[in-house]
Amino acid sequence: EAQVTQNPRYLITVTGKKLTVTCSQNMNHEYMSWYRQDPGLGLRQIYYSMNVEVTDKGDVPEGYKVSRKEKRNFPLILESPSPNQTSLYFCASSSGRTDSSGANVLTFGAGSRLTVL
């Protein structure tokens, strides 16, 4: 089954304790992205990656890092989490093409709810 898998789904941590949220897709998609969802703000893009070793900042990158060493994986790293990073995080992927064939539709993971105390 084509899917985007995130782990963990739920995590409670404390300020300053490094954590990684993993994201893996099995669709051979080139494009992957991380979003955070906060009430009243919708989804905001944190980082995205066009392909292996190609990453760039989204709208709210502060406090986050990413890496894309393999095509299927795109982990989100919080080096020193703070309470304002408490949020629901979504990973998404797509083939990355922007023509009108419908190829740039995002497939979302199930979400990771993170609480930083």
Q: Which residues bind other proteins (CB under 8 A)?
A: 31, 33, 35, 40-45, 48, 50, 58, 90, 92, 94, 96-98, 100-102, 104-106, 108-111
CB of 46 to other proteins, least distance (A): 12
Nearest residue (CB) to other proteins, 69 versus 105 = 105
How many degrees, rounded to 5, is the angle at CA 67 between CA 64 and CA 73? 115
CB of 82 to other proteins, least distance (A): 23
Closest to 6 (Cα-Cα) out of 20, 22, 19, 28: 22
Q: Contact 16/33 with Cβ under 8 angstroms?
A: no
- DSSP, res 73: B
Nearest residue (CB) to other proteins, 4 versus 78 = 4
